[in-house]
Amino acid sequence: MASVSYENVTKRYSGDTLAVDNLSLEVKDTEFMVLVGPSGCGKSTALRMLAGLEDITEGQIKIGDKVVNDMPPRDRDIAMVFQSYALYPHMSVYDNMAFGLKMRGTPRADIERRVNTAADVLELGPLLKRKPRQLSGGQRQRVALGRAIVREPQVFLLDEPLSNLDAKLRVQTRIELQKQHRALHATFIYVTHDQVEAMTMGDRIAVMRDGVLQQVAPPREIYGNPANMYVAGFIGSPTMNFIPVTVQGKTAKASGFELELPHAPGVEKGTLGIRPEALTEAPVAGHAGLDLKVEVVEILGSDQFLYGTVGGDSITARVDPHLKVQPGDRVRLGVDTRRLHLFDSATEKAVL
């Protein structure tokens, strides 16, 4: 059993920083869980408490059914990969991977088997004799991962392991990591501030803000049914359009348009949430439309983003890249009202 559970876990650093605030989170055996949120929201602290590198102020953490609050790090059967992977510069790739096992007194034959298996999996075989300085960033990152794999831990903790890589390599390594996760049958907890990494890698995503867990759900659910405005705005690029509205029954009125909601949300003031792709260049039969005054056009090849205003509100739309639009144009857009979100102005919670 290598499930992990945080039960009402709080971390207060000296100086009274509340880094993690009453976190309850269950990570299932062999699950790939991503912790995501902006810098300083407590992601690393949450991982470091699980690894035993930080004390827990309140609450408890379990690995399987064992409470590990007071268990020394080396007994936790966890391996951690950090952003700064600090390989030993004077040691070969092989020795870098073998070092931790040697320190633990693992038999030599066993070390050899484990390092060679990990090297095979990570395609590091031909590089085993090299020193870290003779490797590319991506190769070094794989060695760091290899160092964790040879430990054969039940739980892998990865703290922004890809942030030192360039964009292309990040994508490759992201895919590599997903393959590894499947092959290793281990539990992965992966920390990132990058919502694309979270969406693409996680079986489930846990979104954090200021030490407080906002929502835990599979990527589709997080994207399609965000629990509050924070999650809605954090996940998705370009970000969801937020438009202040007054609501009467089922009718939502913005400064420049109004539309019928699928049902009455039971609030009078709210913020309408429209994903850029829920605005379509062809008005949808039976659905509302709005007139976008286009200010900026971005063509990305596969996508075209229109940035502009409707009444007093800024709006971004994702449209067919073949549609010819220029700044200054007015474009009639349809709104797919099945994909609308509405957030209560007072609580910022989703009410639709």
Nearer of residues 206 and 245 to ligand ATP, judged by Cβ: 206
Chain Cα centroid distance, residue 86: 24
Residue 42: name its binding partner from Mg ion, ligand ATP, none (Cβ under 5 to 8 Å by kind): ligand ATP
Closest CA to 297 of 279, 332, 336, 323: 323
Residue 193: name its binding partner from ligand ATP, Mg ion, none (Cβ under 5 to 8 Å by kind): ligand ATP
Q: Token pair 């379990």 is at which residue?
A: 62
- Residues 43-82, interacting with Mg ion (CB under 5 A): 44
Q: How many residues bind Mg ion (CB under 5 A)?
A: 1
Report the nearest approach of Mg ion to the CB of residue 43 (Å). 5
Tell me the one-letter amino acid at 50.
L
Nearer of residues 43 and 147 to ligand ATP, judged by Cβ: 43
Alpha helix ranges (H) inside the chain = 43-51, 93-103, 108-121, 137-149, 167-184, 195-201, 219-224, 229-234
**Partners of 316 in beta bridges:** 307
Residue 13: name its binding partner from Mg ion, ligand ATP, none (Cβ under 5 to 8 Å by kind): ligand ATP
**Partners of 342 in beta bridges:** 272
Question: 233 phi and psi, to 5 degrees?
Answer: -80, -25
Cβ-proximal residue to Mg ion, closest one: 44
Residues near ligand ATP (CB under 6 A): 13, 15, 17, 19, 37, 39-45, 193
Report the nearest approach of Mg ion to the CB of residue 284 (Å). 43
Pairing of strands 32-36, 204-209: parallel
Pairing of strands 78-81, 155-159: parallel
Nearer of residues 15 and 286 to ligand ATP, judged by Cβ: 15
Nearer of residues 208 and 274 to ligand ATP, judged by Cβ: 208
The binding site for Mg ion (CB under 5 A) comprises 44
